[in-house]
Amino acid sequence: MSGPLDRLRPHLPDEVWFRFNPRGIHGAPHTTRVLIWAATLAERVAPVPGAIRRDELLWAAAVHDVGRLDDGVDRGHGERSAAWVRAALADARPATRAVDLGFVAELCAWHEVPDHKIGRMSLELLVLKDADGLDRCRISDLDPERLRLQQARRLVAAAERLERATNGYGMVTAEAVLAAAEGNGDGVVLDPAAAPSPHHGPSGHRGDQTAQLR
């Protein structure tokens, strides 16, 4: 299979990385959806090459919840994910030796910290938090008002479609999530030139794409 999301394949998380329920609501299907939204938002928020630390952002999206011990608030899971990044990611994926793993770990550690406790939020953390927030639809807790970026608010409908297509927890893999997202052109556009503007979105295709994801 190849498609517009194919270049996210190297970032897909392995289920063995997750300490708790790898196919659960905070497992690989969730972090893969967050990876997809982080990549989409990065291209919409920072289309100029180098304007965002994309590789670090995408790795953080893929692994931000690997340190979870349960599906509750699980205070400290961001820091546990960060510790895993520092200790294990370079061996698990040698390609990550080319990225700043310290920054990946930092993003993981801060993703669970409330905004008001963060002095100065990096663009990467802002995108990670909204990408994570978009997948709150899986627990019926997606409030668009709580999303920080306008670009994220425009992805709410697409996030809900992708989640509906991939919420078979226990059965759905990271690969399956990526496959479901392929072709969902109005919500997942990794080419900024093709990204819909608020006034000229590709609404003519929306019906087909919605059907594909449902």
Binding mask 9-48 for Fe ion (x = CB under 5 A): ----------------------------------------
Q: Which of 56, 132, 163, 186 binds Fe ion (CB under 5 A)?
A: 132
Counting residues that bind Fe ion (by CB under 5 A) gives 3
Q: Which is nearer to Fe ion, 56 or 186 (CB)?
A: 56
CB of 11 to Fe ion, least distance (A): 15
CB of 77 to Fe ion, least distance (A): 6
Q: Are 14 and 31 in contact (CB under 8 A)?
A: no
Beta strand ranges found along the chain (DSSP E): none
Contacts (Cβ under 8 Å, ≥6 apart) of 128? 34, 38, 57, 60, 61, 64, 107, 111
Residue from the set 43, 56, 65, 186 that interacts with Fe ion by CB under 5 A? 65
Q: Where are the alpha helices (DSSP H) in the chain?
A: 28-45, 54-63, 77-84, 90-92, 101-110, 123-134, 150-153, 156-165, 174-181, 206-213
Site for Fe ion in 70-109 (CB under 5 A): none
User: Which range in 2-10, 125-133, 181-189, 196-204 contacts Fe ion by CB under 5 A?
Assistant: 125-133
Is the Cβ–Cβ distance between 162 and 5 less than 8 Å?
A: no
Under the rule (CB under 5 A), what is the footprint of Fe ion?
A: 65, 112, 132
